[in-house]
Structure 1
Amino acid sequence: MTEAVAATFRIRPLVPADAGTVSQLVLSLSHRFLDDPGGASARRLLATLSPDAALERLASPHFHGWLAEDSSGACGLILMRDTTHLYHLFVREDRQRRGIATALWQRALSQLGAIAATRVTVNAAPGAVAFYRALGFTASESLHEEDGLRFLPMALSLDASTAG
């Protein structure tokens, strides 16, 4: 990531008041991870992405997250569950490929370093597998299809140098 790109956004901790922003950002990208956005199983999943559901997660001590913002507002977010599972990592479509996701991942690692697990998992949407591989994640199972989602379970083993 170049200095010019790094200077175009800032990263701050997510707070419960960000629940609507989290919900809106994730829902705006749902077409990328849902097989049938109008299907019954998708509706069940989409309900878990509502502002109320996001608020419940952000208020929980089991979740830690950060929000990337630029001059246009919220442009990306990362949410970790119990320091062992990368729960959400999303970047607005018009801001992708600018180093935001990588910066969010690095922030999470540096902030959680002292308490992070030695292994982090993620359920990667097919379109995000290459990105996670570039971060060092490897497939831990075969491709899953459930509740309108297709995802590849992946894991990353951390060591002291990785965790920041």
Structure 2
Amino acid sequence: MLVRQATIEDSVAISELISRLTEKYVLPSCESKVHHILLNSMSSKQVSNNLQNGYYYLLAENANKQLIGVAGLKDYSHLYHLFVCDNHQGRGIAKTLWQTIKCDAERINNTKQFTVNSAITAESVYLSFGFKRLSGIRNRDGMVDIPMTLTL
């Protein structure tokens, strides 16, 4: 597996991967009225915009250079995206992406605290990384998540 920093040219592949996995794992816990908002925030145009405006993305690729995982940080402190393809889950890819992007944020920005708005289905992953709940499950106008934080 290769982990590398994303470029603008990766926007379409990132969008396709995170949108597909969001439809399967995130949208079922959110109200249908926000599905299009969430998916629009993951369009290739929006991912490209993110990359041009200070978001930091890392990609995991297999030996055939196929995208198998994505991690993205906003402001080097908010874990904005963390997704791994279904057939590669359970192999430590999310953990590798998280540890790498966390170390990069510490080195580049001296970040000591991270936040994430966890999907209901992903809470156990973030707990295993050391994140703690800031509060219970919240519903923001149909967007359902769990706010979490990690202080180094």
TM-score by length of 1: 0.85
Determine the structure 2 residue equivalent to 1:144.
138
TM-score by length of 2: 0.91
| Sequence identity (%) | 30
Whichever residue aligns with residue 116 of structure 2, its letter is: V
Query: Following superposition, which runs of at least 4 residues in structure 1 exceed 4 angstroms of deviation?
Result: none
Q: Distance in 2 between matches of 1:37 and 1:139?
A: 19
Q: Does 1:156 align with 2:114?
A: no
Determine the structure 2 residue equivalent to 1:88.
81
Aligned partners of 2:31 and 2:143 also within 8 Å: no
Specify whether residues 19 and 132 from structure 1 end up closer, same or farther in structure 2 by C-alpha distance, changes over 3 A only: same
The root-mean-square deviation of aligned C-alpha atoms, in Å, is 1.7
Whichever residue aligns with residue 113 of structure 1, its letter is: E
* Matching of residues 109-128 of structure 1 within 5 Å: 109-114=102-107, 115-128=109-122
Specify whether residues 120 and 36 from structure 1 end up closer, same or farther in structure 2 by C-alpha distance, changes over 3 A only: closer
Q: How many aligned residue pairs are there?
A: 149
Q: Does 1:26 align with 2:18?
A: yes
Which structure 2 segments of 5+ residues have no match?
A: none
Determine the structure 1 residue equivalent to 2:92.
99
Aligned partners of 1:36 and 1:148 also within 8 Å: no
Which structure 1 segments of 5+ residues have no match?
A: 1-8, 159-164
Determine the structure 2 residue equivalent to 1:70.
62
Aligned partners of 2:31 and 2:142 also within 8 Å: no
Q: Distance in 2 between matches of 1:140 and 1:40?
A: 25
Deviation at 1:40, TM superposition (A): 3.0
Determine the structure 1 residue equivalent to 2:34.
41
Give the number of the structure whose alpha-carbon radius of gyration is greater: 1
